[in-house]
Amino acid sequence: MKELSLNSEGPLSSVFSTFKRIALPIVLVVLGSRTLVAQSPVTLETSEALFTVLTSINACGYDAELGPADPVRMSIRGEVGHNIEVSEKAKAAADGVCSFYHDHQQKNDAVTLSQYISLALYLNPPPSLSLKARESDLPPDASAALGLVPLLGKFYSDVGIHELWEKHAQAYADLTDRYRAALTKMISDTELYLRLPSNSYMGRTFTIYVEPMGASSQTNARNYSLEYFVVITPGTNTALKMDQIRHAYLHYLLDPMVGKFAGNFATLGPLMDALRLAPMDEAFKDDASLLVTECVIRAVEARTLAGRKASQAEQDSAVQQSMSQGFVLTRYFYEKLIPFEKDNVGFRNALPAMIGGIDVRREVKQTSQIEFAAAAEPEILHLDRAKEGKLLTTAEDRLSAGDAATAERLAKQALAEKTEDPGRALFILAQISLNKNMDGARDYFEKALQATSEPTVVAWSHIYLGRILDLQDDETGGPLRAQAVAHYKAAESASESLPTAKAAAEQGLSKPYEPPASAKDKEIDKDDKDSKPDDQNQ
């Protein structure tokens, strides 16, 4: 029998022993409009940034599911339309937002809403509405909507969004209150079933946002590092969508537990190969940790169906449906949960034996007998596809920390493996060369421009090339200045959604670049964080 090996000693054993004693049942409380469970990082909230983004697209033609929409959505749409109609400033601000919206419309309303929610979750609160993270760290769908960011501030102020937010605050509070009791019970029931201590969150958060400006049939869930988000849209006579919220919450609880064993999943290779024709998302076929986690979650959902009151036939049907979509370990974990329920061991301590007991050969044989469904249900939680770019992200971090040697090695490795954006890798190498080989840096920047269309790399490569030419010019307004100006103009055109790059380009157009007054030699200024553009750090 081929099994997954688990070490009984080492760092994992100390983690397991920490939770030998399960905490007393959690105490449920209500604290204002936010915390759902005592000492819990689970909150039920509204977000003015999310409201601003979704209100803006509603003003521009996002009309999905207006029929079942909550009355507050219709009221806000009408008031925004009135504000735009009676004010030239508001109309101009809306025209800018709507021009971007129409130029970047997606294939359907669901994808459109999804990308703007992803973007909104990365924004700081108004009035700044700036990015919380570097542009390079944004998920792909949020990156596609980045051009909206510099337009939002004017829309927010000139259309009077904050005034509308305050006016409808009570309506939002009433909508939020509809979910409170059900969410509190879901959290309690889930943690008690898994016998998880209520204080074992390790710095992670789970936030549910209620936002009626979207489509009531959609639930959007995201996991960004230590933060989990669920965005729900209430409508008239719509259910609370507790099944979808619970699915995301199970990810929040179980993702890190299963993830600890990622190194043990190498032996699942034959099983992963057997799933190539399965209809579920390709990410599950490429990442054993994602697959195992989803199977564990679906097994828990089947065992606790209808509040643990579902018939055996209903549970079997749920398991079979998951298996037919490609989640072929669901039956295995479902059967392991039966003795778990009768024991008094917490799930954290029970999981190692469950994973260690997987008979890969047996599972491959059973998988070969499954007739896969034609399609799979879409995953509630957006899958993390940030595997790409890992070498270059680390290279950027090392360069920022002053470790140029490691950054250079990682950038060259990414180029050799051809798995990541070559333009981004060349851009990193160019930055490393700036102060020791300006001609070499110039060559790298020019190659980066030929290799990518990524806005940050394009804009800053042109800026650096302009600065190099300014520094190499022997006289003010010399023969290289015209070439430098051409690069600054190109940077200005490429930096529509990059305010720091745009400012640097405009400065280069106004006068030739000069190093800081304290610099002894002519060199590119490294003290203004240009080695890691500020547009990536917002």
Q: What is the DSSP string of 171-213?
A: HHHHHHHHHHHHHHHHHHHHHHHHT--TT--TT-EEEEEE-TT
Cβ-in-10-Å burial (0-12, 13-18, 19+) of 329 comes to buried
Report if residue 246 sits inside a domain: no
Give the mean model confidence (pLDDT) for residues 271-283: 93
Lowest-confidence region among 65-79, 139-153, 518-532: 518-532
Amino acid present at 379: E
Q: Does the pLDDT at position 437 exceed 70?
A: yes
Q: Say whether both 236 and 124 belong to one domain.
A: yes
| Cα gap 462→488, rounded to integer Å | 6
Number of folded domains that form the chain:
3
Asked whether the beta carbons of 389 and 136 are under 8 A apart, the reply is yes
| The predicted structure's pLDDT at residue 519 | 47
Lowest-confidence region among 53-57, 118-122, 284-288, 361-365: 284-288
Give the mean model confidence (pLDDT) for residues 313-335: 98
Asked whether the beta carbons of 375 and 279 are under 8 A apart, the reply is yes
What percentage of the chain carries pLDDT values higher than 90? 63
Q: Say whether both 105 and 200 belong to one domain.
A: yes
| The predicted structure's pLDDT at residue 247 | 97
Q: Say whether both 114 and 162 belong to one domain.
A: yes
Q: Say whether both 21 and 38 belong to one domain.
A: no
Burial state string for 444-459 with b = 16 or more CB within 10 A and e = fewer than 16: bbebbbebbebbbbbb
Give the mean model confidence (pLDDT) for residues 331-341: 98
Q: Say whether both 430 and 315 belong to one domain.
A: no
Q: Say whether both 24 and 54 belong to one domain.
A: no
Instruction: Read off the CATH number of the domain in which 491 is found.
Output: 1.25.40
Asked whether the beta carbons of 470 and 481 are under 8 A apart, the reply is yes
| Cα gap 197→348, rounded to integer Å | 10
Range of the domain at 77: 32-240
Amino acid present at 384: D
Residue 36 pLDDT grade (very low, low, confident, very high; cuts 50, 70, 90): low
Question: Looking at 338, 365, 386, which one is the last position of a domain?
Answer: 386
Classify the phi-psi angles of 210: left when phi > 0, otherwise alpha if psi is within -120 to 50, otherwise beta: beta
Distance of CA 247 to the CA centre of its chain: 17
| The predicted structure's pLDDT at residue 1 | 37
Q: Say whether both 232 and 337 belong to one domain.
A: no
Q: Does the pLDDT at position 363 exceed 80?
A: yes
| The predicted structure's pLDDT at residue 230 | 98
Q: Say whether both 338 and 303 belong to one domain.
A: yes
| The predicted structure's pLDDT at residue 34 | 55
Lowest-confidence region among 10-19, 55-64, 95-104, 442-451: 10-19
Cβ-in-10-Å burial (0-12, 13-18, 19+) of 497 comes to buried
| The predicted structure's pLDDT at residue 198 | 63
Report if residue 249 sits inside a domain: no
Q: Say whether both 1 and 75 belong to one domain.
A: no
| Cα gap 410→301, rounded to integer Å | 42
Q: Say whether both 311 and 342 belong to one domain.
A: yes
Report if residue 254 sits inside a domain: no
Question: Looking at 326, 357, 386, which one is the last position of a domain?
Answer: 386
Report if residue 250 sits inside a domain: no
Q: Say whether both 54 and 127 belong to one domain.
A: yes
Give the mean model confidence (pLDDT) for residues 14-18: 27
- Provide the 10 A C-beta neighbour count for residue 2: 12
Angle between helices 330-342 and 347-356 (to 10 degrees): 140
Report if residue 183 sits inside a domain: yes
Question: Looking at 183, 210, 240, which one is the last position of a domain?
Answer: 240
Give this prediction's pTM: 0.68
Q: Does the pLDDT at position 522 exceed 50?
A: no
Asked whether the beta carbons of 298 and 267 are under 8 A apart, the reply is no
Report if residue 306 sits inside a domain: yes
Report if residue 245 sits inside a domain: no
| The predicted structure's pLDDT at residue 143 | 85
Report if residue 247 sits inside a domain: no
Cβ-in-10-Å burial (0-12, 13-18, 19+) of 242 comes to middle
| Cα gap 65→155, rounded to integer Å | 24
Rounded to 5 degrees, what are φ and ψ at 147? Answer: -60, -15
Show the DSSP H helices in 87-160 as ranges: 88-103, 109-120, 140-144, 149-158
Asked whether the beta carbons of 186 and 248 are under 8 A apart, the reply is no
Give the mean model confidence (pLDDT) for residues 512-518: 74
CB-facing half-sphere around the CA of 297: CA atoms within 13 A: 26
Q: Does the pLDDT at position 258 exceed 70?
A: yes
Average pLDDT, the chain: 86
Q: Say whether both 325 and 338 belong to one domain.
A: yes
| The predicted structure's pLDDT at residue 27 | 31
